[in-house]
Amino acid sequence: MNTIPEAKGPRYAPYASGKFQMAMGMVALDLRDWIDVDQNRAVELREKERLLASQHNAVFGDLHGSEAAQREVLMLLLDNLELHHPGLIAFDEGKIRIAETGKSYCLSEFADNALDLAGRLVQEDLCLMTPGEKGYVLHAASLCFPGRWVLGEKLGRPMMEIHEPVSGYAEKLGKPVDRFFTHLTADKPVSRLNWSILDDPALFQTSGHSSTVRQSGVTAQNAGERLWLRVERQTLRRLPESGDILFTIRTFVDPLSSLEARPDLAMGLRRAVADMPEGMQRYKSLIPFRNALDGYLENLMERAA
Protein backbone atom coordinates (compact mmCIF):
# COMPACT_ATOMS: atom_id res chain seq x y z
CA MET A 1 0.00 0.00 0.00
CA ASN A 2 2.94 2.32 -0.61
CA THR A 3 3.85 2.47 3.06
CA ILE A 4 6.92 4.66 3.72
CA PRO A 5 9.03 4.49 6.91
CA GLU A 6 8.22 7.59 8.98
CA ALA A 7 11.88 8.66 9.23
CA LYS A 8 12.10 8.79 5.47
CA GLY A 9 9.14 10.92 4.57
CA PRO A 10 5.35 10.55 4.76
CA ARG A 11 4.04 7.25 6.03
CA TYR A 12 1.88 6.64 2.95
CA ALA A 13 2.61 7.80 -0.58
CA PRO A 14 -0.11 6.63 -2.99
CA TYR A 15 1.30 9.02 -5.63
CA ALA A 16 4.70 7.27 -5.63
CA SER A 17 4.06 5.52 -8.95
CA GLY A 18 3.83 8.85 -10.75
CA LYS A 19 0.44 7.95 -12.21
CA PHE A 20 -3.02 9.23 -11.43
CA GLN A 21 -5.73 6.63 -11.72
CA MET A 22 -9.45 7.09 -11.25
CA ALA A 23 -9.86 3.69 -9.63
CA MET A 24 -11.02 2.10 -6.39
CA GLY A 25 -7.58 0.60 -5.73
CA MET A 26 -8.83 -1.84 -3.09
CA VAL A 27 -6.43 -4.24 -1.38
CA ALA A 28 -7.16 -7.01 1.12
CA LEU A 29 -7.15 -5.91 4.77
CA ASP A 30 -5.89 -7.96 7.69
CA LEU A 31 -8.11 -7.07 10.64
CA ARG A 32 -5.02 -6.93 12.84
CA ASP A 33 -4.28 -3.71 10.91
CA TRP A 34 -7.85 -2.41 10.81
CA ILE A 35 -7.34 0.33 13.39
CA ASP A 36 -4.28 2.54 12.98
CA VAL A 37 -2.59 3.83 16.13
CA ASP A 38 0.36 6.22 16.20
CA GLN A 39 2.02 8.93 18.30
CA ASN A 40 -0.70 11.45 17.40
CA ARG A 41 -3.45 9.46 19.11
CA ALA A 42 -3.84 11.62 22.24
CA VAL A 43 -3.75 14.89 20.28
CA GLU A 44 -6.30 13.72 17.73
CA LEU A 45 -8.67 12.22 20.30
CA ARG A 46 -8.61 15.49 22.24
CA GLU A 47 -9.37 17.37 19.03
CA LYS A 48 -12.33 15.07 18.45
CA GLU A 49 -13.59 15.84 21.96
CA ARG A 50 -13.27 19.56 21.32
CA LEU A 51 -15.23 19.36 18.08
CA LEU A 52 -17.92 17.12 19.55
CA ALA A 53 -18.35 19.53 22.45
CA SER A 54 -18.38 22.74 20.38
CA GLN A 55 -20.23 21.68 17.21
CA HIS A 56 -21.64 18.21 17.75
CA ASN A 57 -24.19 18.34 14.93
CA ALA A 58 -21.45 19.17 12.43
CA VAL A 59 -19.35 16.10 13.25
CA PHE A 60 -21.90 13.48 14.26
CA GLY A 61 -25.15 12.50 12.62
CA ASP A 62 -27.39 9.45 12.49
CA LEU A 63 -30.74 8.46 11.06
CA HIS A 64 -33.50 6.39 12.62
CA GLY A 65 -32.97 2.70 12.10
CA SER A 66 -29.18 2.80 12.39
CA GLU A 67 -29.07 2.10 16.14
CA ALA A 68 -28.42 -1.66 15.95
CA ALA A 69 -25.66 -1.28 13.37
CA GLN A 70 -24.07 1.47 15.48
CA ARG A 71 -23.95 -0.86 18.49
CA GLU A 72 -22.45 -3.57 16.30
CA VAL A 73 -19.66 -1.20 15.21
CA LEU A 74 -18.88 -0.29 18.82
CA MET A 75 -18.63 -3.94 19.86
CA LEU A 76 -16.38 -4.79 16.92
CA LEU A 77 -14.12 -1.85 17.74
CA LEU A 78 -13.89 -2.75 21.43
CA ASP A 79 -13.03 -6.35 20.57
CA ASN A 80 -10.40 -5.28 18.04
CA LEU A 81 -8.74 -2.78 20.38
CA GLU A 82 -8.63 -5.24 23.25
CA LEU A 83 -7.18 -7.97 21.02
CA HIS A 84 -4.72 -6.04 18.86
CA HIS A 85 -4.06 -2.85 20.86
CA PRO A 86 -4.16 -3.92 24.51
CA GLY A 87 -3.84 -1.17 27.08
CA LEU A 88 -5.39 1.64 25.02
CA ILE A 89 -8.77 1.30 26.72
CA ALA A 90 -9.89 -0.07 30.08
CA PHE A 91 -13.30 -1.19 31.37
CA ASP A 92 -14.57 -0.31 34.83
CA GLU A 93 -18.17 -0.80 36.02
CA GLY A 94 -19.91 0.11 32.79
CA LYS A 95 -17.35 2.74 31.83
CA ILE A 96 -14.65 2.88 29.18
CA ARG A 97 -11.46 4.78 29.95
CA ILE A 98 -8.91 5.92 27.36
CA ALA A 99 -5.34 5.56 28.59
CA GLU A 100 -3.74 8.48 26.73
CA THR A 101 -6.34 11.13 27.60
CA GLY A 102 -7.74 9.80 30.87
CA LYS A 103 -11.24 10.40 29.49
CA SER A 104 -14.01 8.07 30.67
CA TYR A 105 -17.38 7.31 29.08
CA CYS A 106 -20.48 5.56 30.40
CA LEU A 107 -21.69 2.95 27.95
CA SER A 108 -25.30 3.52 29.01
CA GLU A 109 -25.17 7.16 27.88
CA PHE A 110 -24.56 6.05 24.29
CA ALA A 111 -27.20 3.33 24.05
CA ASP A 112 -28.94 4.94 21.07
CA ASN A 113 -25.92 6.57 19.39
CA ALA A 114 -23.13 4.07 19.91
CA LEU A 115 -21.24 5.32 16.85
CA ASP A 116 -20.68 8.60 18.69
CA LEU A 117 -18.83 6.72 21.42
CA ALA A 118 -17.00 4.51 18.91
CA GLY A 119 -15.62 7.56 17.13
CA ARG A 120 -14.17 8.87 20.39
CA LEU A 121 -12.08 5.73 20.89
CA VAL A 122 -10.07 5.76 17.64
CA GLN A 123 -8.34 8.24 15.37
CA GLU A 124 -10.44 7.09 12.42
CA ASP A 125 -13.65 8.72 11.31
CA LEU A 126 -16.50 6.21 10.99
CA CYS A 127 -19.20 6.21 8.30
CA LEU A 128 -22.02 3.67 8.31
CA MET A 129 -23.59 2.75 4.96
CA THR A 130 -26.87 0.86 4.54
CA PRO A 131 -28.67 -0.43 1.41
CA GLY A 132 -31.25 1.88 -0.11
CA GLU A 133 -33.38 2.17 -3.25
CA LYS A 134 -30.63 4.06 -5.09
CA GLY A 135 -27.64 2.21 -3.67
CA TYR A 136 -25.88 2.38 -0.34
CA VAL A 137 -26.89 5.38 1.79
CA LEU A 138 -24.90 7.20 4.47
CA HIS A 139 -26.89 6.18 7.54
CA ALA A 140 -24.73 7.47 10.39
CA ALA A 141 -21.29 9.01 10.80
CA SER A 142 -18.77 10.23 13.33
CA LEU A 143 -16.86 12.60 11.07
CA CYS A 144 -14.54 14.92 12.99
CA PHE A 145 -11.90 15.22 10.26
CA PRO A 146 -13.76 15.76 6.96
CA GLY A 147 -11.67 16.41 3.87
CA ARG A 148 -13.63 19.41 2.62
CA TRP A 149 -17.16 18.06 2.77
CA VAL A 150 -20.13 18.67 5.06
CA LEU A 151 -21.73 15.75 6.89
CA GLY A 152 -25.15 17.38 7.00
CA GLU A 153 -25.19 17.63 3.21
CA LYS A 154 -24.39 13.93 2.71
CA LEU A 155 -26.34 12.15 5.46
CA GLY A 156 -29.15 10.04 3.99
CA ARG A 157 -27.85 10.31 0.44
CA PRO A 158 -26.65 7.42 -1.79
CA MET A 159 -23.06 7.03 -2.96
CA MET A 160 -23.66 8.49 -6.42
CA GLU A 161 -25.14 11.67 -4.97
CA ILE A 162 -22.50 11.92 -2.24
CA HIS A 163 -19.75 11.90 -4.88
CA GLU A 164 -21.59 14.10 -7.38
CA PRO A 165 -19.02 16.94 -7.09
CA VAL A 166 -16.10 14.56 -7.78
CA SER A 167 -14.91 15.01 -11.35
CA GLY A 168 -15.27 11.78 -13.33
CA TYR A 169 -16.84 9.76 -10.51
CA ALA A 170 -20.22 9.13 -12.15
CA GLU A 171 -18.66 8.09 -15.48
CA LYS A 172 -15.81 5.93 -14.19
CA LEU A 173 -16.50 4.80 -10.63
CA GLY A 174 -20.22 5.14 -9.88
CA LYS A 175 -21.43 1.75 -11.09
CA PRO A 176 -18.26 -0.21 -10.13
CA VAL A 177 -18.46 1.18 -6.57
CA ASP A 178 -22.15 0.27 -6.28
CA ARG A 179 -21.39 -3.27 -7.49
CA PHE A 180 -18.48 -3.57 -5.09
CA PHE A 181 -20.62 -2.52 -2.13
CA THR A 182 -23.29 -5.04 -3.12
CA HIS A 183 -20.84 -7.95 -3.31
CA LEU A 184 -18.55 -7.10 -0.36
CA THR A 185 -18.60 -9.94 2.18
CA ALA A 186 -17.96 -9.85 5.92
CA ASP A 187 -14.87 -12.05 5.63
CA LYS A 188 -13.18 -9.90 2.96
CA PRO A 189 -12.47 -6.41 4.40
CA VAL A 190 -10.45 -4.08 2.19
CA SER A 191 -8.50 -0.83 2.34
CA ARG A 192 -7.46 1.90 -0.06
CA LEU A 193 -5.63 5.24 -0.08
CA ASN A 194 -6.76 8.66 -1.25
CA TRP A 195 -4.56 11.76 -1.46
CA SER A 196 -4.67 15.50 -2.02
CA ILE A 197 -2.51 18.61 -1.59
CA LEU A 198 -3.97 21.42 0.49
CA ASP A 199 -2.96 24.85 1.68
CA ASP A 200 -4.36 24.17 5.17
CA PRO A 201 -3.10 21.48 7.61
CA ALA A 202 -6.30 21.42 9.70
CA LEU A 203 -7.89 17.99 10.11
CA PHE A 204 -11.41 19.46 10.26
CA GLN A 205 -12.17 21.05 6.88
CA THR A 206 -15.66 21.48 5.48
CA SER A 207 -14.99 23.77 2.51
CA GLY A 208 -12.42 24.46 -0.17
CA HIS A 209 -13.10 21.95 -2.94
CA SER A 210 -12.98 23.41 -6.46
CA SER A 211 -11.48 26.66 -5.20
CA THR A 212 -10.18 28.94 -7.94
CA VAL A 213 -8.89 31.68 -5.64
CA ARG A 214 -5.21 32.20 -6.37
CA GLN A 215 -2.99 31.69 -3.34
CA SER A 216 -0.57 34.52 -4.11
CA GLY A 217 1.53 33.74 -1.04
CA VAL A 218 2.52 30.26 -2.24
CA THR A 219 5.69 30.22 -4.33
CA ALA A 220 8.16 27.63 -5.53
CA GLN A 221 10.43 28.81 -2.71
CA ASN A 222 8.00 28.47 0.21
CA ALA A 223 5.61 25.74 -1.01
CA GLY A 224 7.29 23.22 1.28
CA GLU A 225 5.98 25.09 4.31
CA ARG A 226 2.75 26.46 2.80
CA LEU A 227 1.35 23.27 1.26
CA TRP A 228 0.40 19.97 2.90
CA LEU A 229 0.08 16.36 1.79
CA ARG A 230 -3.18 14.89 3.05
CA VAL A 231 -3.58 11.11 2.73
CA GLU A 232 -6.65 9.16 3.81
CA ARG A 233 -6.29 5.48 4.66
CA GLN A 234 -9.78 4.13 4.12
CA THR A 235 -11.17 0.71 5.04
CA LEU A 236 -14.45 -1.00 4.23
CA ARG A 237 -15.93 -4.04 5.94
CA ARG A 238 -19.33 -5.67 5.92
CA LEU A 239 -20.88 -5.90 9.39
CA PRO A 240 -21.71 -9.58 9.93
CA GLU A 241 -24.94 -9.06 11.90
CA SER A 242 -26.66 -6.00 10.39
CA GLY A 243 -25.23 -6.39 6.88
CA ASP A 244 -24.38 -2.68 6.74
CA ILE A 245 -20.94 -1.50 5.60
CA LEU A 246 -18.55 0.44 7.83
CA PHE A 247 -16.29 2.89 6.03
CA THR A 248 -13.38 4.19 8.12
CA ILE A 249 -11.13 7.14 7.29
CA ARG A 250 -7.77 7.67 8.98
CA THR A 251 -6.23 11.00 7.96
CA PHE A 252 -2.49 11.75 7.78
CA VAL A 253 -1.19 15.29 7.19
CA ASP A 254 2.46 16.08 6.39
CA PRO A 255 4.10 19.29 5.18
CA LEU A 256 5.18 19.15 1.56
CA SER A 257 8.71 19.71 2.87
CA SER A 258 8.62 16.13 4.22
CA LEU A 259 9.53 15.07 0.67
CA GLU A 260 12.94 16.72 0.95
CA ALA A 261 14.27 13.43 2.32
CA ARG A 262 12.65 11.52 -0.54
CA PRO A 263 13.33 13.06 -3.96
CA ASP A 264 11.96 9.87 -5.53
CA LEU A 265 8.58 10.61 -3.96
CA ALA A 266 8.84 14.24 -5.08
CA MET A 267 9.31 12.96 -8.63
CA GLY A 268 6.36 10.60 -8.28
CA LEU A 269 4.12 13.38 -6.95
CA ARG A 270 5.13 15.77 -9.71
CA ARG A 271 4.33 13.20 -12.37
CA ALA A 272 1.07 12.17 -10.71
CA VAL A 273 -0.15 15.77 -10.62
CA ALA A 274 0.84 16.24 -14.25
CA ASP A 275 -1.06 13.04 -15.09
CA MET A 276 -4.20 14.22 -13.28
CA PRO A 277 -7.05 15.42 -15.54
CA GLU A 278 -7.74 19.12 -15.36
CA GLY A 279 -11.23 18.52 -13.96
CA MET A 280 -9.79 16.58 -11.04
CA GLN A 281 -7.09 19.21 -10.49
CA ARG A 282 -9.85 21.78 -10.28
CA TYR A 283 -11.93 19.64 -7.90
CA LYS A 284 -8.89 19.16 -5.65
CA SER A 285 -8.21 22.93 -5.76
CA LEU A 286 -4.71 22.46 -7.16
CA ILE A 287 -5.06 25.06 -9.91
CA PRO A 288 -4.36 28.15 -7.74
CA PHE A 289 -0.92 26.89 -6.66
CA ARG A 290 -0.21 24.38 -9.43
CA ASN A 291 2.81 26.25 -10.85
CA ALA A 292 4.33 26.88 -7.43
CA LEU A 293 3.95 23.21 -6.54
CA ASP A 294 5.59 22.09 -9.76
CA GLY A 295 8.47 24.53 -9.31
CA TYR A 296 9.09 23.38 -5.74
CA LEU A 297 9.12 19.70 -6.68
CA GLU A 298 11.41 20.39 -9.63
CA ASN A 299 13.85 22.18 -7.32
CA LEU A 300 13.87 19.21 -4.93
CA MET A 301 14.71 16.85 -7.77
CA GLU A 302 17.44 19.11 -9.12
CA ARG A 303 19.08 19.39 -5.70
CA ALA A 304 19.10 15.62 -5.38
CA ALA A 305 20.56 15.03 -8.84
pLDDT tens readout for residues 212-248: 555 568 999 999 999 999 999 999 999 999 999 999 9
- Is pTM beyond 0.95? Reply is no
* CA angle centred on 194, ends 188 and 199, rounded to 5°: 155
Alpha-carbon distance of 48 to 205, in angstroms, equals 13
Query: pLDDT tens digits, residue range 96-108?
Result: 999 999 999 999 9
* Neighbour tally for 196: CB within 10 Å: 18
pLDDT of residue 6: 45
Closest to 62 in 3D by CA, of 49, 73, 46: 73
In this model, does residue 128 exceed pLDDT 50?
A: yes
SS3 of 274, please? helix
Other beta carbons less than 10 A from residue 217's beta carbon:
10
- DSSP for 51-100? HHHH-HHHHEEE-TT-HHHHHHHHHHHHHHHHHHSTTSEEEETTEEEETT
Q: Is the pLDDT of residue 177 over 50?
A: yes
Question: Phi and psi dihedrals of 94, rounded to 5?
Answer: 80, 10
- pLDDT of 143 higher than 60: yes
Average pLDDT score over the chain: 92
